[in-house]
Amino acid sequence: MAGISSNITFILLCSLWYMTSALSSNTGKAILNEFRYPITLTFVQFGFVAFYCLLFMSPVLRFSKLRAPTRSILRDTLPMGLFQVGGHVCSSMAISRIPVSTVHTIKALSPLFTVAAYALLFGVSYSAKTYTSLLPLTLGVMLACSSEFSLSNAVGLLCAFGSAIVFVSSNIFFKKIMPTNNGGALSQPSQKLDKINLLFYSSSMAFILMVPIWLYYDLPIFLSSSDHVSHPSHGHSNPHSVTYYFIMNGTVHFAQNIIAFVILSSTSPVTYSIASLMKRVAVICSAILWFNQSVHSIQAFGICLTFAGLYMYNNAKGDVEKGEKKMMRVEAARELKLPTTNADARMMSGIDTPPEAYSMPQNDTAMTSATGLGSGSIHGRPRAPSAVSHLNSHNLSVKITPPSFNTKKSPKDRTASPTDSYPSPPPSLDSPPSQPAHLSSQTGHFDLPEHSHRTTTIS
């Protein structure tokens, strides 16, 4: 009975996710049909998301508590804001010029850009199954966009490709670059942000970054004329006002982000990936129906071929992850890195993460799909237990022996010692005699002899 209830809940959440995603794209297109200012639309979207986050953290609702901004939080959310600005501005500009279905079909090329980036920039090799899945995906997008290739639509097509490339770049950035920064304070438990705080700071940062762009591009236009809404000669194609669509668009834009968080935190990454694939299908089909778009037979075949390529790539996704982990192991060995978590230790030793350990710490990574950021974002994600806690399960004994002037090492012994290249200072006359120092399994400290009166903490 519990399993049936959870399945029904999952189906309802996915239905809400698909509906809010479709409404977000289609209402955005409805706005831009009469109000051709994509910069302003993106600016308002970020403002609505930040406002709703504050509303949900207000004393009235209290879904979460607002974290006070710190230098580390602002530093780590700045890249998130930059990627959101670039991706969403390009997406809005594309939607203003070409159909929504075409924009999302082009965004379906994200797997191709991801595989190409890892293969060309980082030397990751993939299986033939992965490359084969990219063929129908690429061909399908080309056929789906065949009717849109004209000079007037060239800017829209380029913006759609640019949006997909920006979101793929953010994925690679947060998955490969950000985790190498030891100063990433948001990865520490004391700085971990929950879903609403993370969404608030990233959207607020994007909103602030949009201010100079909006002042430069759209504000002078607003000040120069009085009428900014176009009125088609055949009458209004939208049954509601532009203001109504702005409010609706900002609301559903926030809702789709929150629902994506909830779905990813309640299911496995594989299930979420399949649900995300179906969301792409739902958005494209709903856009065709919403705007009564005529679809050519070749274009329809291309869209179907794109769906087939996405499905094939989803099945080959395990090979992609194995290739990325192999690349990470090679780089870690080359740079002589030590694992800092159990997950790092499993990755560096080549042991696959158990399914139960892989599916649980996914609470805040939905930002990758909901806002276009990479799936490897470290922000707000719970860390695995540290390597110290793993070591503490064994009663280790470390013997510290100071060097002696009378001990003569053979050349062979000196060669075998890993510390000969780091000369130690000679011991003082009052150095204590060598005694073993035991690592306490309860405290995680080195307990030195009693007369030393000090304890060295493992950091």
Domain final residue, candidates 353, 387, 421? 387
Domain final residue, candidates 387, 420, 449? 387
Residue 113 domain-assigned (yes or no): yes
372 and 352 in a common domain: yes
Helix (H) or strand (E) holding 455: strand 455-457
* Report for 62-76, 350-364, 404-418, 423-437: range of highest mean pLDDT: 62-76
Residue 415 domain-assigned (yes or no): no
Terminal-to-terminal C-alpha distance of the chain: 47
Rg (CA), the chain: 27
Domain final residue, candidates 334, 359, 387? 387
For residues 39 and 100, give the distance between their C-alpha atoms in angstroms, rounded to a whole number.
Answer: 17
Expressed as residue numbers, the domain containing 398 is 392-404+429-459
450 and 377 in a common domain: no
Across the chain, what does the average pLDDT equal? 75
Residue 273 domain-assigned (yes or no): yes
Residue 2 domain-assigned (yes or no): no
Place of tokens 């399914």: 355
271 and 364 in a common domain: yes
Q: Which of 134-148, 235-249, 365-379 has the lowest mean pLDDT?
A: 365-379
The total number of structural domains that make up the chain: 2
Contact 101, 147 (CB under 8 A): no
For residues 152 and 206, give the distance between their C-alpha atoms in angstroms, rounded to a whole number.
Answer: 30
- 453 pLDDT higher than 60: no
365 and 398 in a common domain: no
60-116 pLDDT, tens digit per residue, is 888 899 999 999 899 889 999 999 999 999 999 999 999 999 999 999 999 899 889
396 and 383 in a common domain: no
396 and 255 in a common domain: no
What pTM did the predictor assign? 0.68
Residue 414 domain-assigned (yes or no): no
Residue 33 domain-assigned (yes or no): yes
143 and 181 in a common domain: yes
148-182 pLDDT, tens digit per residue, is 667 668 899 999 999 999 999 998 888 766 544 44
**Count of C-beta atoms within a 10 Å radius of residue 3:** 7
178 and 102 in a common domain: yes
136 and 107 in a common domain: yes
397 and 298 in a common domain: no
User: Burial of 294 by CB count in 10 Å (0-12 exposed, 13-18 middle, 19+ buried)?
Assistant: exposed
